Amino acid sequence: MSKETFVAMQRSIVDGAPDIASQLAGQALRAGISPLDAINQGYVPGMHEVGEQFARGQMFLPDMMASAEAMRAAMALLDPELKKLGTERPMEGIVVLGTTKGDIHEIGKILVGTLLSAHGFRVHDLGVDVSGEKFAAMAHEFRADIVGVSALLTTTMRNQKSVIEALEKAGLRPHVKVMVGGAPVTRRWADEIGADGYAKDAMTAVVLARSLMQRKVQHPVAEQA
Ligand code: B1M
């Protein structure tokens, strides 16, 4: 398996071809390609290309939906393989994850959840279009250590702040770390809204989640204050 395979994976996303995307994912796994390499070097660049074509007006909403379908088809095979990695690890922490209210983008968020699971976190994925109140209620119910909030639209980023406000209102903020991410999100935005951290991609989200857990453990008294 080679660079051509990754290029074919990218193509399958741009073409919105779920059958081909799935077939290539199966081939990659059989050939011993790491599922993460297939995602990061094959399918995700395809999604970026789709975004660029959409922004240039060379692609329309139905095309973008077909591309998302192709990505889902590939993930259906790759996701379980990634998750398997997490089953033999000690539990690192509990994460409540979702996409903000008004936003239905889920592919990146699912990837973040998968990698967190693969690295030992117990992840409760609330799905998309999740209100701040729902994040807070679920953080309470699952005794979350971390709340992870994804946003892909500049118009829904501000709802990440609403999640923090809802956690504050529910009295949970001192006990829960908040991490944010998504294509338009920046570290500066994270600081501005009072999040505890920002991750630019799924692997960085794992590193960040671990460091947030350490901060929780090392400063338990400060956390409760
Ligand atoms: Co939409 N869309 N979309 N879309 N879409 C974008 C985001 C856009 C940038 C495309 C463009 O114009 N170039 C643009 C947003 C512009 C803006 O706000 N600045 C856009 C638009 C405009 C829209 C609609 C408004 C279009 C319309 O209706 N006219 C509409 C909005 C619907 C809504 O949410 N209310 C819409 C709809 C859709 C589809 C439904 C068709 C589909 C989503 C399907 C689905 O998810 N089930 C879709 C898609 C596929 C995209 C693009 C092409 C790809 C997104 C994606 O899956 N990327 C996207 C263009 C782009 O992002 N380049 C685009 C792959 C994924 C692996 O990356 O999601 O960035 P990403 O996740 C990364 C990191 O961001 C990070 O880690 C992930 C993995 O590395 N990350 C986190 C994400 N969440 C994190 C959370 C963390 C940490 C890291 O901690 C908690």
pLDDT at residue number 159: 98
CA–CA distance, 59 with 224 (Å, rounded to integer): 50
User: Ligand 1: does its nearest atom lie under 6 Å from the Cβ of 45?
Assistant: no
Residues 68 and 107 sit within 8 Å (Cβ to Cβ): yes
pLDDT at residue number 221: 46
If you measure from the C-alpha of residue 121 to the centroid of ligand 1, how many angstroms do you get, rounded to a whole number? 24
Which residue type sits at 33? I
pLDDT < 50 positions in the chain: 220-225
Q: Residue of the nearest CA to atom 80 in ligand 1?
A: 201
User: Ligand 1: does its nearest atom lie under 6 Å from the Cβ of 202?
Assistant: yes
If you measure from the C-alpha of residue 47 to the centroid of ligand 1, how many angstroms do you get, rounded to a whole number? 9
Tokens of 154: 């500049």
Residues 170 and 121 sit within 8 Å (Cβ to Cβ): no
pLDDT at residue number 224: 40
pLDDT at residue number 218: 56
pLDDT at residue number 107: 94
41: helix, strand or coil: helix
1: helix, strand or coil: coil
If you measure from the C-alpha of residue 171 to the centroid of ligand 1, how many angstroms do you get, rounded to a whole number? 31
CA atoms within 13 A on the CB side of 151: 26
User: Ligand 1: does its nearest atom lie under 6 Å from the Cβ of 205?
Assistant: yes
Q: Residue of the nearest CA to atom 5 in ligand 1?
A: 51
Q: Residue of the nearest CA to atom 75 in ligand 1?
A: 182
Helices 18-30 and 61-84, axial angle in degrees (round to 10) = 20
Per-residue pLDDT tens digits for 197-211: 999 999 899 999 999
pLDDT at residue number 88: 64
pLDDT at residue number 220: 46
User: Ligand 1: does its nearest atom lie under 6 Å from the Cβ of 179?
Assistant: yes
If you measure from the C-alpha of residue 20 to the centroid of ligand 1, how many angstroms do you get, rounded to a whole number? 22
User: Ligand 1: does its nearest atom lie under 6 Å from the Cβ of 118?
Assistant: no
pLDDT at residue number 118: 83
> Rounded to the nearest 5 degrees, what angle is found at the Cα of 70, between the Cα atoms of 64 and 72?
105
Residues 120 and 84 sit within 8 Å (Cβ to Cβ): no
pLDDT at residue number 181: 98
- The number of the ligand 1 atom at minimal distance from the alpha carbon of 185 is 75
